[in-house]
Amino acid sequence: MEMDRMNNKNTLTSTSKFMSLVLRHNPGRAGLALDAQGWVSIDALLRGAQAAGRNISPALLMEVVQSCPKQRFAISADGLRIRASQGHSVQIDLGLQASVPPQRLYHGTATRFLDSILRTGLDRRNRHHVHLTDNLATARSVGQRYGRLVLLEIDAARMHADACSTARTTASGSRTAWHRTTCACEPKRNTMKPIIALDADGVLLDYNRAYAGAWERAFGQRPAEADPHAYWAMDRWAVQALDGERLQQFRACMDDDFWRSIPALGNALQACHDLQGAGYELVCVTALAARFEQARLGNLRDLGFPIDRVIATGRTTGLRSPKADALQRLGPVAFVDDYLPYLRDIGPGIHAALVCRGPNGTPNTGPDLVHAHSQHADLMAFSQWWLQQAPSHS
């Protein structure tokens, strides 16, 4: 039974690849002549496949079309013709309708192509369009075919506003595929910004200072400072360990109002503006509970940080960073955190930068330092170092 299942899967994959070849790139391989819109009769495709040594039955063809999660192929309304939905290198007109894209679109590729893309932008090469999607799962699936995955997030609204770029869409069943076409005056700037992901507490925001305010709110008295160089908030302030009702009383004060009012750290605001000015998009990736995500975003906006997106991952009990999955989906060029364990397993294509604050009682020591590609006193130190050795994307 298992062998039959595997054989059927292999047959579907092999047939799909052959159909992609003759319907997208080389119709002559099967003696086909596509019409102006890329259509060919199903009977002609089956005869051409047989002449090319491929035995494709009508049932197998329909199974390939219906089982493809990316909906690579379309059947005409009368059921007599077939074409590839996108990805052509032969000249055809898919009849795509001009449309305003969503704010963000995604493109899946491999790490080996990233340097070239960041230098010159997304290039259609021998295809007619750059294929984009509003579906992260689709982008991941496409990118994984080419090697180690990189997910690129496209500022589609800015791309659409550019007079020399047009976004078009076509419906394939229930999915929508977006295509970037290029006019004669190709814009000189790259409409896709590389992303730098930033932790919040200890990198952007002074959680330890806010901790004293929460204590005062809970118990009516601001604690004295015990060690200004302590890493942990409980060690910085002269406070006792809590349990039972007093612990619940304190936690109740860490509500939306608390997470929306944490002060900025030193020159973190300027560091962010420097990075943004160099052409990077900044995204906050925090281990805060998801229910406080909007409060955190409001806090950053109120302070003037050029950050429009917060991803709250929550915490986990395992050894793997709770931020790993979110970072691998986001695909930043760098991630900055002040807690060494959160650099574990974030992905080989991401530069892991460690902010080494609060030396007294720091967890940022030991064998896990191998996960940190660089170490910095604060975000400004990282920003200056990064911008000295990385090309500008402005």
The pTM assigned to this predicted structure is: 0.55
Tokens of 62: 């329909």
DSSP codes joined into one string, 81-112: EEEESS---S-----PEE----SEEEEEEEGG
Q: How far apart are CA 122 and CA 129, in angstroms?
A: 10
Q: Which CATH number fits domain 11-84: 1.10.10.970, 1.20.1530.20, 3.30.230.10, 3.40.50.620?
A: 1.10.10.970
- Least confident stretch, 52-61, 88-97, 144-153, 208-217: 88-97
> What integer pLDDT is reported at residue 391 of this predicted model?
55
State mean pLDDT over 281-286. 95
Q: How far apart are CA 187 and CA 182, in angstroms?
A: 9
- Residue 194's identity, in one-letter code, is P
Say yes or no to pLDDT of 364 above 60.
Answer: yes
> What integer pLDDT is reported at residue 390 of this predicted model?
67
Residue 180: band (very low, low, confident or very high) from pLDDT cuts 50, 70, 90 = very low
Q: How far apart are CA 63 and CA 386, in angstroms?
A: 51
Q: Decide: 23 and 73 in contact? Cβ < 8 Å.
A: yes
Do β-strands 149-155 and 195-198 pair in parallel, antiparallel, or remain unpaired?
A: unpaired
Give the CA distances from residue 287 to residues 30, 87, 141, 220, 333, in Å, rounded to whole numbers and listed in that order: 54, 39, 27, 28, 19
pLDDT tens digits for range 241-259: 989 999 999 999 999 999 9
pLDDT tens digits for range 109-129: 887 777 777 766 776 655 556
Q: Decide: 191 and 118 in contact? Cβ < 8 Å.
A: no
Residue 163: band (very low, low, confident or very high) from pLDDT cuts 50, 70, 90 = very low
| Residue (of 231, 236, 263, 262) closest to 339 by Cα position | 231
State mean pLDDT over 176-202. 59
State mean pLDDT over 282-286. 96
Q: Hey, how many other C-beta atoms are within 10 angstroms of the C-beta on 126?
A: 9
Q: How far apart are CA 279 and CA 376, in angstroms?
A: 21
pLDDT tens digits for range 32-69: 888 888 899 999 999 999 999 999 999 999 999 988 87
pLDDT tens digits for range 208-243: 999 999 999 999 999 999 999 999 999 999 999 989
| Residue (of 322, 315, 321, 330) closest to 372 by Cα position | 321
- CATH architecture label of 196-202+263-389: 3-Layer(aba) Sandwich (3.40)
**Domain 104-184 belongs to what topology?**
ADP-ribosylation fold (3.20.170)
Say yes or no to pLDDT of 371 above 90.
Answer: yes
> What integer pLDDT is reported at residue 162 of this predicted model?
58
**Proportion of the chain above pLDDT 90, given as a percent:** 50
pLDDT tens digits for range 298-340: 999 999 999 989 999 998 777 889 999 999 888 899 999 999 9
Q: Decide: 315 and 322 in contact? Cβ < 8 Å.
A: yes
Instruction: Pick the most confident of 168-172, 192-196, 365-369.
Output: 365-369
Say yes or no to pLDDT of 96 above 70.
Answer: no
> What integer pLDDT is reported at residue 221 of this predicted model?
93
Do β-strands 149-155 and 130-133 pair in parallel, antiparallel, or remain unpaired?
A: unpaired
Q: How far apart are CA 144 and CA 122, in angstroms?
A: 17
Domain boundaries, the chain: 11-84, 104-184, 196-202+263-389, 207-260
Q: How far apart are CA 302 and CA 309, in angstroms?
A: 14
